[in-house]
Amino acid sequence: MPIDPFFSTMLDNLDAAGKLIPASHGTAQQARDRFKANSVARRGTGYVPEAVGGTSDHVVDSPTGPIQIRVYTPIQDRGRVVTYAHGGGWVFGDVDTHDPVARRIANGLGAQVVSVDYRRAPESPFPAGLVDVSAALAWAADTYPDRIRIVAGDSAGGQLAIGAAMRVRPYGPRVAAALLLYPFVDPTMSYPSINENGEGYFLTAADLRWFYDQLLPEPSMWQAPEVDLLRADLTGFPPSVVATAEFDPLRDEGVAFLERLRSCGVTAEHVPGQTLIHGFASFAKALPAAGNSLQDAFDAVDRILANPSVD
């Protein structure tokens, strides 16, 4: 299917305005500033955030110091808690840029959402962000002991969510499900969609390599099981929903991760985002196709939680 006209027009307009700047252009801080400015600008004038039951900011202790989190309360509570890691290539993004996504997850799953402002590369390379997301997952379990626990993440945050769930397998807290939106899982970047979709769809193959270089400055880091996820032992991983996007360079590795989960005996559902690009969850309010795909992912989580044997 062709790319959604909304995204086609958006990309053409950004290109015409000279705003399709590679992530690797300039310093990490300049990349952060561009990303944050674009995140705010694309919401448009008169933007009104999706209503939730409430938000509150907290400071959580991690093994290497305090981290910030933001907790979202849903309008209709279904007794769940989601530890959420935002995207941004491990380099940019924060709880503010991904506020719309966190709000949609809260209401879509009827869950308290703990959005983690984890440390970012290159100043804090692997495993700093993973340590922070793991600490937030432990905090959520302690703070909401009676709630059903879910980990979630989009893009690079998907890798962090996967890694945090891997780390707690031996001793808990038990995670009931994982919601993974177009996650980074293959540092070798060896699947066909890297080349097929590596130019012209916002996220580029060059961006991906730059992101990994910021996160993994030491050669030994590239083989860490929480990074090289297609070769990791995922036995006992939580039942998962993996959402991909048709015009995403990460599309094929997302499908490969789904297959890897199933080969390790893990229940997993795939939500293919036809006509969509990487990062579509941030456009769920403006674009029906993006909102529908995200809702399909929420419905899949509901099915998994209702019947963990669904394959």
Active-site position among 4, 99, 207, 248: 248
Question: Can you read off the two tokens belonging to residue 204?
Answer: 């580029």
In contact, 291 and 14? CB cutoff 8 Å: no
Angle between helix 128-143 and 156-167 (nearest 10) = 60
Helix (H, G, I), strand (E, B) or coil at 85: strand
* Cα four-point dihedral sign 252, 3, 88, 60: negative
155 has catalytic annotation: yes
Question: Can you read off the two tokens belonging to residue 5?
Answer: 């006209």
- Residue 148 CA to residue 236 CA, distance in Å, equals 17
What stretches of the chain adopt beta strand conformation (E)?
54-62, 65-73, 80-85, 111-117, 148-154, 177-181, 240-245, 268-273
- Residue 21 CA to residue 19 CA, distance in Å, equals 5
Distance of CA 44 to the CA centre of its chain: 23
278 has catalytic annotation: yes
Angle between helix 99-109 and 288-306 (nearest 10) = 40
Active-site position among 24, 115, 134, 155: 155
Active-site position among 94, 99, 132, 278: 278
Backbone angles phi, psi at 148, to 5 degrees: -75, 125
193 has catalytic annotation: no
Residues in contact with 70: Cβ distance below 8 Å, sequence separation at least 6, in sequence order: 55, 56, 57, 58, 95, 99, 102, 114, 115, 117
In contact, 215 and 243? CB cutoff 8 Å: no
Backbone angles phi, psi at 212, to 5 degrees: -60, -40
For the chain, the C-alpha Rg in angstroms (whole number) is 18
Catalytic residue ranges: 155, 248, 278
